[in-house]
Protein backbone atom coordinates (compact mmCIF):
# COMPACT_ATOMS: atom_id res chain seq x y z
CA UNK A 1 0.00 0.00 0.00
CA UNK A 2 2.13 2.94 -1.26
CA UNK A 3 1.97 6.29 0.51
CA UNK A 4 -0.40 8.78 -1.08
CA UNK A 5 1.06 12.08 -2.18
CA UNK A 6 -1.55 14.05 -0.26
CA UNK A 7 -0.38 12.82 3.15
CA UNK A 8 3.24 11.72 2.70
CA UNK A 9 4.65 14.01 5.38
CA UNK A 10 2.00 13.09 7.95
CA UNK A 11 2.56 9.38 7.30
CA UNK A 12 6.33 9.76 7.68
CA UNK A 13 5.81 11.53 10.98
CA UNK A 14 3.33 8.93 12.17
CA UNK A 15 5.69 6.13 11.17
CA UNK A 16 8.66 7.49 13.14
CA UNK A 17 6.47 8.26 16.17
CA UNK A 18 5.06 4.74 16.30
CA UNK A 19 8.48 3.23 15.58
CA UNK A 20 9.87 5.11 18.57
CA UNK A 21 7.45 3.48 21.00
CA UNK A 22 8.87 0.93 23.41
CA UNK A 23 8.78 -2.58 21.96
CA UNK A 24 7.89 -1.40 18.44
CA UNK A 25 8.48 -3.95 15.67
CA UNK A 26 10.14 -1.88 12.92
CA UNK A 27 9.91 -4.55 10.22
CA UNK A 28 6.19 -5.05 10.88
CA UNK A 29 5.55 -1.30 10.87
CA UNK A 30 7.33 -1.00 7.50
CA UNK A 31 5.05 -3.66 6.05
CA UNK A 32 1.94 -1.97 7.44
CA UNK A 33 2.97 1.42 6.04
CA UNK A 34 3.85 -0.12 2.67
CA UNK A 35 7.55 0.83 2.65
CA UNK A 36 10.79 -1.12 2.59
CA UNK A 37 12.86 -1.54 5.74
CA UNK A 38 15.64 0.46 4.05
CA UNK A 39 13.25 3.38 3.55
CA UNK A 40 11.91 3.05 7.09
CA UNK A 41 15.37 3.17 8.66
CA UNK A 42 16.27 6.11 6.40
CA UNK A 43 13.42 8.19 7.81
CA UNK A 44 14.23 7.10 11.35
CA UNK A 45 17.85 8.22 10.90
CA UNK A 46 16.85 11.56 9.38
CA UNK A 47 14.33 12.17 12.15
CA UNK A 48 16.96 11.33 14.77
CA UNK A 49 19.38 13.83 13.23
CA UNK A 50 17.08 16.68 12.21
CA UNK A 51 13.71 16.09 13.86
CA UNK A 52 10.60 16.77 11.79
CA UNK A 53 12.58 18.84 9.29
CA UNK A 54 14.50 15.72 8.33
CA UNK A 55 11.30 14.07 7.09
CA UNK A 56 10.78 16.63 4.34
CA UNK A 57 12.05 16.00 0.83
CA UNK A 58 14.05 19.19 1.26
CA UNK A 59 15.43 20.23 4.61
CA UNK A 60 13.57 23.13 6.22
CA UNK A 61 15.33 24.10 9.42
CA UNK A 62 13.20 26.43 11.54
CA UNK A 63 14.58 29.85 12.23
CA UNK A 64 15.62 30.29 15.86
CA UNK A 65 15.70 33.55 17.77
CA UNK A 66 16.64 33.08 21.44
CA UNK A 67 16.47 36.82 22.17
CA UNK A 68 12.80 37.40 21.36
CA UNK A 69 11.23 40.58 22.58
CA UNK A 70 7.88 40.52 24.35
CA UNK A 71 6.24 41.78 21.18
CA UNK A 72 7.79 39.00 19.10
CA UNK A 73 6.57 36.38 21.60
CA UNK A 74 3.06 37.78 21.43
CA UNK A 75 3.22 37.65 17.64
CA UNK A 76 4.27 34.00 17.83
CA UNK A 77 1.33 33.25 20.14
CA UNK A 78 -1.11 34.99 17.81
CA UNK A 79 0.34 33.24 14.76
CA UNK A 80 -0.08 29.83 16.41
CA UNK A 81 -3.60 30.74 17.50
CA UNK A 82 -4.49 31.85 13.95
CA UNK A 83 -3.22 28.50 12.66
CA UNK A 84 -5.43 26.73 15.23
CA UNK A 85 -8.36 29.09 15.95
CA UNK A 86 -10.04 26.73 18.43
CA UNK A 87 -7.01 26.30 20.72
CA UNK A 88 -6.96 28.05 24.08
CA UNK A 89 -4.09 29.25 26.26
CA UNK A 90 -3.23 25.83 27.72
CA UNK A 91 -2.97 24.08 24.36
CA UNK A 92 -0.96 26.93 22.84
CA UNK A 93 1.42 26.87 25.81
CA UNK A 94 1.93 23.10 25.60
CA UNK A 95 2.48 23.21 21.84
CA UNK A 96 5.10 25.99 22.07
CA UNK A 97 6.94 24.01 24.77
CA UNK A 98 6.86 20.95 22.50
CA UNK A 99 8.39 23.05 19.73
CA UNK A 100 11.35 23.87 21.97
CA UNK A 101 10.68 27.61 22.16
CA UNK A 102 12.24 29.70 24.91
CA UNK A 103 10.48 32.13 27.21
CA UNK A 104 7.08 30.55 26.62
CA UNK A 105 4.42 32.54 28.51
CA UNK A 106 2.29 30.82 31.13
CA UNK A 107 -1.12 29.53 29.94
CA UNK A 108 -2.90 32.31 31.80
CA UNK A 109 -0.65 34.88 30.11
CA UNK A 110 -1.42 33.36 26.74
CA UNK A 111 -5.13 33.60 27.45
CA UNK A 112 -4.65 37.27 28.31
CA UNK A 113 -2.74 37.79 25.03
CA UNK A 114 -5.59 36.18 23.09
CA UNK A 115 -8.14 38.35 24.85
CA UNK A 116 -6.07 41.50 24.29
CA UNK A 117 -5.80 40.80 20.57
CA UNK A 118 -9.48 39.99 20.15
CA UNK A 119 -8.91 36.28 19.55
CA UNK A 120 -11.06 34.99 22.41
CA UNK A 121 -14.80 34.36 22.08
CA UNK A 122 -15.99 34.25 25.68
CA UNK A 123 -19.36 32.71 24.78
CA UNK A 124 -17.64 29.93 22.85
CA UNK A 125 -15.11 29.32 25.64
CA UNK A 126 -17.92 28.72 28.12
CA UNK A 127 -19.09 25.72 26.08
CA UNK A 128 -15.83 23.82 26.47
CA UNK A 129 -16.05 22.08 29.81
CA UNK A 130 -14.30 18.85 30.69
CA UNK A 131 -16.25 15.62 30.32
CA UNK A 132 -16.12 13.05 33.10
CA UNK A 133 -14.99 9.75 31.56
CA UNK A 134 -12.96 6.62 32.12
CA UNK A 135 -10.45 5.04 29.79
CA UNK A 136 -9.32 1.51 29.03
CA UNK A 137 -5.93 0.43 30.33
CA UNK A 138 -4.09 -0.21 27.06
CA UNK A 139 -4.15 0.82 23.39
CA UNK A 140 -6.43 -1.29 21.19
CA UNK A 141 -8.46 -2.62 24.13
CA UNK A 142 -11.37 -0.62 22.72
CA UNK A 143 -11.93 1.47 19.61
CA UNK A 144 -14.91 3.81 19.30
CA UNK A 145 -16.46 4.34 15.87
CA UNK A 146 -19.23 6.53 14.53
CA UNK A 147 -20.29 8.84 11.71
CA UNK A 148 -20.11 12.57 12.34
CA UNK A 149 -23.25 14.26 11.07
CA UNK A 150 -23.07 14.62 7.28
CA UNK A 151 -22.78 18.03 5.68
CA UNK A 152 -23.16 19.59 2.23
CA UNK A 153 -20.28 20.22 -0.18
CA UNK A 154 -20.36 22.01 -3.52
CA UNK A 155 -20.75 18.53 -5.00
CA UNK A 156 -22.83 16.13 -2.89
CA UNK A 157 -22.58 15.44 0.84
CA UNK A 158 -19.76 14.20 3.05
CA UNK A 159 -20.30 11.59 5.78
CA UNK A 160 -17.18 11.69 8.03
CA UNK A 161 -16.37 8.26 9.50
CA UNK A 162 -14.32 8.50 12.71
CA UNK A 163 -12.43 5.74 14.54
CA UNK A 164 -10.75 6.55 17.88
CA UNK A 165 -8.64 4.50 20.30
CA UNK A 166 -10.20 4.72 23.77
CA UNK A 167 -6.95 4.63 25.80
CA UNK A 168 -4.80 7.09 23.86
CA UNK A 169 -7.44 9.19 22.01
CA UNK A 170 -5.38 8.41 18.90
CA UNK A 171 -7.39 9.04 15.72
CA UNK A 172 -7.07 5.81 13.73
CA UNK A 173 -9.25 7.00 10.90
CA UNK A 174 -11.03 10.11 9.67
CA UNK A 175 -12.56 9.21 6.34
CA UNK A 176 -14.61 11.39 3.98
CA UNK A 177 -17.32 8.96 2.83
CA UNK A 178 -20.02 9.43 0.21
CA UNK A 179 -22.52 7.35 2.20
CA UNK A 180 -22.93 5.24 5.34
CA UNK A 181 -23.36 1.84 3.69
CA UNK A 182 -21.90 -1.38 5.03
CA UNK A 183 -19.48 -1.92 2.13
CA UNK A 184 -18.18 1.66 2.41
CA UNK A 185 -17.43 1.21 6.11
CA UNK A 186 -15.82 -2.21 5.57
CA UNK A 187 -13.53 -0.79 2.88
CA UNK A 188 -12.39 2.08 5.11
CA UNK A 189 -12.02 -0.11 8.18
CA UNK A 190 -10.03 -2.74 6.27
CA UNK A 191 -7.40 -0.11 5.42
CA UNK A 192 -7.27 0.98 9.07
CA UNK A 193 -6.91 -2.65 10.21
CA UNK A 194 -4.07 -3.23 7.75
CA UNK A 195 -2.12 -0.29 9.17
CA UNK A 196 -2.89 -0.49 12.89
CA UNK A 197 -3.97 -4.11 13.40
CA UNK A 198 -7.15 -5.40 15.04
CA UNK A 199 -8.60 -4.13 18.35
CA UNK A 200 -10.01 -6.39 21.02
CA UNK A 201 -13.39 -4.65 20.96
CA UNK A 202 -15.25 -1.92 19.07
CA UNK A 203 -17.98 0.33 20.44
CA UNK A 204 -20.68 1.72 18.13
CA UNK A 205 -24.12 3.25 18.49
CA UNK A 206 -27.39 1.63 17.40
CA UNK A 207 -27.67 3.23 13.99
CA UNK A 208 -27.09 1.66 10.59
CA UNK A 209 -24.89 -0.14 9.66
CA UNK A 210 -23.77 -1.03 13.20
CA UNK A 211 -27.03 -2.40 14.61
CA UNK A 212 -30.53 -1.06 14.19
CA UNK A 213 -32.09 -1.71 17.60
CA UNK A 214 -31.22 -3.53 20.83
CA UNK A 215 -33.58 -6.30 19.67
CA UNK A 216 -31.71 -6.58 16.36
CA UNK A 217 -28.19 -5.77 17.45
CA UNK A 218 -26.44 -7.96 14.85
CA UNK A 219 -26.01 -6.82 11.25
CA UNK A 220 -23.87 -8.19 8.40
CA UNK A 221 -21.26 -5.59 9.35
CA UNK A 222 -21.22 -6.77 12.97
CA UNK A 223 -20.95 -10.38 11.84
CA UNK A 224 -17.89 -9.43 9.75
CA UNK A 225 -16.22 -7.94 12.85
CA UNK A 226 -17.00 -11.03 14.93
CA UNK A 227 -15.59 -13.15 12.11
CA UNK A 228 -12.35 -11.18 12.48
CA UNK A 229 -12.28 -11.87 16.21
CA UNK A 230 -13.34 -8.35 17.24
CA UNK A 231 -15.94 -8.16 20.02
CA UNK A 232 -18.68 -5.60 19.37
CA UNK A 233 -20.55 -3.40 21.84
CA UNK A 234 -23.39 -0.92 21.34
CA UNK A 235 -24.13 2.23 23.28
CA UNK A 236 -27.49 2.83 24.91
CA UNK A 237 -30.05 4.37 22.54
CA UNK A 238 -30.26 8.15 22.98
CA UNK A 239 -27.18 8.14 25.26
CA UNK A 240 -24.32 9.56 23.15
CA UNK A 241 -22.19 9.91 26.30
CA UNK A 242 -21.57 6.14 26.05
CA UNK A 243 -19.19 7.04 23.22
CA UNK A 244 -18.00 10.16 24.99
CA UNK A 245 -14.49 10.25 23.54
CA UNK A 246 -15.65 9.93 19.94
CA UNK A 247 -18.39 12.51 20.58
CA UNK A 248 -15.75 14.82 22.00
CA UNK A 249 -13.61 14.16 18.92
CA UNK A 250 -16.56 15.20 16.76
CA UNK A 251 -16.86 18.45 18.70
CA UNK A 252 -13.17 19.13 18.18
CA UNK A 253 -13.40 18.34 14.46
CA UNK A 254 -16.30 20.76 14.13
CA UNK A 255 -14.58 23.48 16.16
CA UNK A 256 -11.21 23.26 14.39
CA UNK A 257 -12.17 22.34 10.81
CA UNK A 258 -15.82 22.21 9.82
CA UNK A 259 -16.72 25.49 11.48
CA UNK A 260 -14.32 27.45 9.29
CA UNK A 261 -14.17 25.70 5.93
CA UNK A 262 -16.31 24.78 2.93
CA UNK A 263 -15.39 21.97 0.57
CA UNK A 264 -15.86 21.36 -3.12
CA UNK A 265 -15.85 17.57 -3.09
CA UNK A 266 -14.81 14.43 -1.19
CA UNK A 267 -11.19 14.64 -2.36
CA UNK A 268 -10.91 18.15 -0.92
CA UNK A 269 -12.49 16.97 2.33
CA UNK A 270 -10.09 14.04 2.60
CA UNK A 271 -7.02 16.19 2.03
CA UNK A 272 -8.07 18.55 4.80
CA UNK A 273 -9.03 15.66 7.08
CA UNK A 274 -5.59 14.07 6.57
CA UNK A 275 -3.84 17.35 7.43
CA UNK A 276 -5.92 17.93 10.55
CA UNK A 277 -5.72 14.31 11.73
CA UNK A 278 -1.92 14.61 11.68
CA UNK A 279 -2.11 17.76 13.83
CA UNK A 280 -4.59 16.11 16.20
CA UNK A 281 -2.45 13.00 16.70
CA UNK A 282 1.05 14.50 16.73
CA UNK A 283 0.86 18.21 17.61
CA UNK A 284 -2.33 19.16 19.42
CA UNK A 285 -1.91 18.89 23.24
CA UNK A 286 -4.73 16.90 24.81
CA UNK A 287 -5.95 18.04 28.21
CA UNK A 288 -7.22 14.56 29.21
CA UNK A 289 -3.68 13.25 28.56
CA UNK A 290 -1.96 15.83 30.74
CA UNK A 291 -1.21 17.95 27.64
CA UNK A 292 0.56 15.06 25.91
CA UNK A 293 -0.29 14.16 22.31
CA UNK A 294 -2.22 10.96 21.46
CA UNK A 295 0.73 9.41 19.59
CA UNK A 296 2.73 9.35 22.82
CA UNK A 297 0.28 6.80 24.26
CA UNK A 298 -0.53 4.71 21.21
CA UNK A 299 1.07 1.51 19.88
CA UNK A 300 -0.11 -0.55 16.93
CA UNK A 301 -1.94 -3.77 17.68
CA UNK A 302 -0.01 -7.06 17.38
CA UNK A 303 -3.17 -8.68 15.95
CA UNK A 304 -2.75 -8.70 12.17
CA UNK A 305 -5.63 -8.21 9.74
CA UNK A 306 -6.18 -11.47 7.80
CA UNK A 307 -6.54 -10.87 4.08
CA UNK A 308 -8.14 -14.32 3.81
CA UNK A 309 -10.42 -15.37 6.64
CA UNK A 310 -9.69 -18.83 8.07
CA UNK A 311 -12.45 -21.45 8.11
CA UNK A 312 -14.81 -21.45 11.10
CA UNK A 313 -14.05 -24.36 13.40
CA UNK A 314 -15.66 -25.55 16.62
CA UNK A 315 -14.73 -28.05 19.31
CA UNK A 316 -15.47 -31.79 19.21
CA UNK A 317 -18.08 -31.47 21.97
CA UNK A 318 -20.11 -28.78 20.15
CA UNK A 319 -23.34 -29.37 18.20
CA UNK A 320 -22.85 -27.46 14.92
CA UNK A 321 -25.82 -26.17 12.92
CA UNK A 322 -26.10 -23.97 9.83
CA UNK A 323 -28.34 -20.91 10.16
CA UNK A 324 -31.16 -20.80 7.61
CA UNK A 325 -32.27 -17.82 5.54
CA UNK A 326 -34.89 -16.82 8.13
CA UNK A 327 -32.50 -17.14 11.07
CA UNK A 328 -33.54 -20.64 12.08
CA UNK A 329 -31.67 -23.69 13.33
CA UNK A 330 -32.98 -27.13 14.15
CA UNK A 331 -31.94 -29.22 17.12
CA UNK A 332 -33.43 -32.48 18.38
CA UNK A 333 -36.46 -32.13 16.16
CA UNK A 334 -37.26 -28.57 17.16
CA UNK A 335 -36.70 -25.27 15.34
CA UNK A 336 -35.22 -22.26 17.11
CA UNK A 337 -34.65 -18.68 16.06
CA UNK A 338 -31.27 -16.91 16.12
CA UNK A 339 -30.33 -13.49 14.67
CA UNK A 340 -30.89 -13.39 10.89
CA UNK A 341 -27.54 -11.70 10.28
CA UNK A 342 -25.87 -15.09 10.74
CA UNK A 343 -27.75 -16.79 7.92
CA UNK A 344 -25.57 -19.20 5.98
CA UNK A 345 -22.97 -19.44 8.76
CA UNK A 346 -22.34 -22.43 11.05
CA UNK A 347 -22.99 -21.87 14.75
CA UNK A 348 -22.27 -24.10 17.75
CA UNK A 349 -24.63 -25.11 20.53
CA UNK A 350 -23.08 -25.51 23.99
CA UNK A 351 -24.73 -26.41 27.32
CA UNK A 352 -24.82 -23.75 30.03
CA UNK A 353 -24.82 -24.17 33.80
CA UNK A 354 -28.63 -24.01 33.64
CA UNK A 355 -30.25 -27.30 32.77
CA UNK A 356 -32.01 -27.20 29.38
CA UNK A 357 -30.44 -23.90 28.30
CA UNK A 358 -27.90 -23.80 25.45
CA UNK A 359 -25.57 -21.04 24.31
CA UNK A 360 -25.49 -20.30 20.58
CA UNK A 361 -21.90 -19.48 19.67
CA UNK A 362 -20.50 -17.89 16.51
CA UNK A 363 -16.72 -18.25 16.28
CA UNK A 364 -15.72 -17.35 19.87
CA UNK A 365 -18.75 -15.14 20.61
CA UNK A 366 -22.03 -16.10 22.31
CA UNK A 367 -24.76 -14.55 20.19
CA UNK A 368 -27.94 -16.06 21.66
CA UNK A 369 -29.45 -18.63 24.03
CA UNK A 370 -32.16 -21.20 23.50
CA UNK A 371 -34.28 -23.08 26.01
CA UNK A 372 -34.74 -26.70 25.06
CA UNK A 373 -37.89 -26.92 27.18
CA UNK A 374 -39.59 -24.32 24.99
CA UNK A 375 -42.17 -25.71 22.54
CA UNK A 376 -41.12 -25.93 18.87
CA UNK A 377 -41.94 -22.97 16.64
CA UNK A 378 -45.42 -23.02 15.18
CA UNK A 379 -46.80 -25.36 17.86
> What DSSP assignment string belongs to 57-85?
SS--PPP--TT--HHHHHHHHHHHHHHST
- Residue 376: pLDDT above 80? no
Residue 333 has pLDDT above 80, yes or no: yes
Give the residue, 335 or 4, on which the prediction is more confident.
Answer: 335
- The pLDDT score that the predictor gives to residue 107 is 77
Average pLDDT value over all residues in the chain: 83
pLDDT at 76: 81
Average pLDDT over residues 96-108: 76
Q: Are 283 and 293 in contact (CB under 8 A)?
A: yes
pLDDT class for 132, splitting at 50, 70, 90?
very low
The pLDDT assigned to 336 comes to 94
pLDDT at 195 over 90: yes
- The predicted pLDDT at position 67 comes to 42
Q: Is 354 exposed, middle or buried (0-12, 13-18, 19+ CB in 10 A)?
A: exposed
Q: Between 64 and 26, whose confidence is greater?
A: 26
Mean pLDDT of 184-196: 96
Predicted confidence at residue 89, as pLDDT, reads 75
What is the predicted pLDDT for the residue at 154? 95
Name beta bridge partners: 175. 161
Q: Is 375 helix (H, G, I), strand (E, B) or coil?
A: coil
Which range among 9-23, 93-107, 177-191, 347-361 shows the weakest confidence by mean pLDDT?
93-107
Whether residue 128 has pLDDT greater than 70: no
The whole-number pLDDT of residue 59 equals 45
Share of the chain above pLDDT 90, in %: 49
Evaluate whether 184 touches 150 at the Cβ level (below 8 Å). no
Using CA atoms, how far apart are residues 64 and 76, in angstroms rounded to an integer? 12
What end-to-end distance do the CA atoms of the chain give, in Å? 56
Locate the domains of the chain by residue range.
5-55, 70-125, 143-297, 319-371
User: Comparing 172 with 102, which gets the higher pLDDT?
Assistant: 172
Of 254-263, 285-294, 324-333, the least confident: 285-294
Q: What is the pLDDT of residue 373?
A: 62
User: Would you state the pLDDT for residue 237?
Assistant: 54
> Model confidence at 123, in pLDDT bands (50, 70, 90)?
very low
Asked if residue 16 lies in contact with residue 9, where contact means CB atoms within 8 angstroms, the answer is: no
Least confidently predicted of 121-130, 153-162, 252-261? 121-130
The CA distance from 336 to 313, in Å, is 22
pLDDT tens, position by position, 51-100: 887 888 754 444 454 444 577 777 788 888 877 777 877 778 788 777 77
Q: For residue 323, what pLDDT is reported?
A: 96
Q: Residue 129 — very low, low, confident or very high, per pLDDT cuts 50/70/90?
A: very low
Judge whether residue 212 has pLDDT over 70. Answer: no
As a whole number of angstroms, the distance between CA 188 and CA 203 comes to 16
pTM (2 d.p.): 0.73
State mean pLDDT over 37-55: 87
Q: What is the pLDDT of residue 263?
A: 95
* CA torsion, ordered 82, 88, 89, 95, to nearest 10 deg: -70
Helix 220-227 to helix 182-196 angle, to the nearest 10 degrees?
20
Multiple choice CATH, 143-297, 3.40.250.10, 3.60.15.10, 3.40.50.300, 3.30.420.10: 3.30.420.10
Per mean pLDDT, which range of 57-71, 167-181, 232-246, 314-328 is the poorest? 57-71
Amino acid sequence: MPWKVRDTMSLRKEFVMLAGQEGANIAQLCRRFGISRKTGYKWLMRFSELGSAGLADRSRRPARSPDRTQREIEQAVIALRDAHPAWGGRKLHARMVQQGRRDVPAPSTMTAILRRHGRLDESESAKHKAWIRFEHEAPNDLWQMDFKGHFAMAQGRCHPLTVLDDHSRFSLGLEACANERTETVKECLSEIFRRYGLPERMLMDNGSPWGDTPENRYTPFGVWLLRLGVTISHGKPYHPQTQGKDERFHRTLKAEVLRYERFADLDGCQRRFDEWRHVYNHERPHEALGMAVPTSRYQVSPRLFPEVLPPIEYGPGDWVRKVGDKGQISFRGQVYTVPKAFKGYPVALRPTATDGVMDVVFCAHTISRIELRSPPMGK
